[in-house]
Amino acid sequence: MQATPTIKLNMKILLSTSFIILLHFLAPAQTMLFTKSGTIQFFSKTPLENIEAVNKEASSFLNLQNGELVFSLLVKNFRFEKALMEEHFNENYMESDKFPKANFKGKISNLSAINFSKEGVYPCLINGNIVIHGVSKAIDLPANITVKQGKVIATAKFQVKPADFNISIPALVKGKIAEQIEVNVNAHYEPYKK
């Protein structure tokens, strides 16, 4: 007995649907996001001179399942408007030959409030440890997770004190560097592929 065209079409639809459902259950859920072009910018405002630098090569992982977040960057990748500022930053303050990396490792404390499959801006709090100049310090960071057109973007703005990280400022230039430095973070994530 030969199958009618309607039966053939229904069989194809059934097989196609079954295959899609099977793939859905067999494929591992994408839980890890990554970027190697995160932007970290800092700004110091004083009456004498503003100091600003940007690093566009921060690496970061974001685990969507448990909210773990990791950032790592090379200190020497900060770029300044003036070459002399960059030199002083690396040699005199950050001692980037001795302490080449800055890191952050933390966790989103209100992960359940973020819907990674729905567009929106989700305020969050990230608790963790930041390591600068070889000194580790616990920190709570207010941040935003933005989900837009299937992309995940993390942004944060916070203050750090150089003194908290044993960064000494010579008396000669103390007035040129603020006691607190504003830090801005912007990371556009992609699915992590092993």
Res 44: pLDDT:
85
Q: What's the predicted TM-score (pTM) here? A: 0.79
Instruction: Specify whether domain 29-191 bears CATH 2.40.128.110.
Output: yes
61 pLDDT more than 90: yes
Mean pLDDT of the chain: 85
CA gap 42, 152 in Å, rounded: 22
171 pLDDT more than 70: no
Q: Name the band, by pLDDT with cuts 50, 70 and 90, for residue 170.
A: low
Number of H helices, E strands in the chain: 2, 9
92 pLDDT more than 70: yes
Domain ranges of the chain: 29-191
Over range 86-104, report the average pLDDT.
Answer: 93
pLDDT, tens only, 9-50:
445 444 444 444 433 333 344 689 999 999 999 998 877 778
Q: Name the band, by pLDDT with cuts 50, 70 and 90, for residue 78.
A: very high
Q: 61: part of which helix (H) or strand (E)?
A: strand 51-63
pLDDT, tens only, 127-155:
999 999 999 999 999 999 999 998 999 99
CA gap 69, 83 in Å, rounded: 32
123 pLDDT more than 50: yes
Res 85: pLDDT:
86
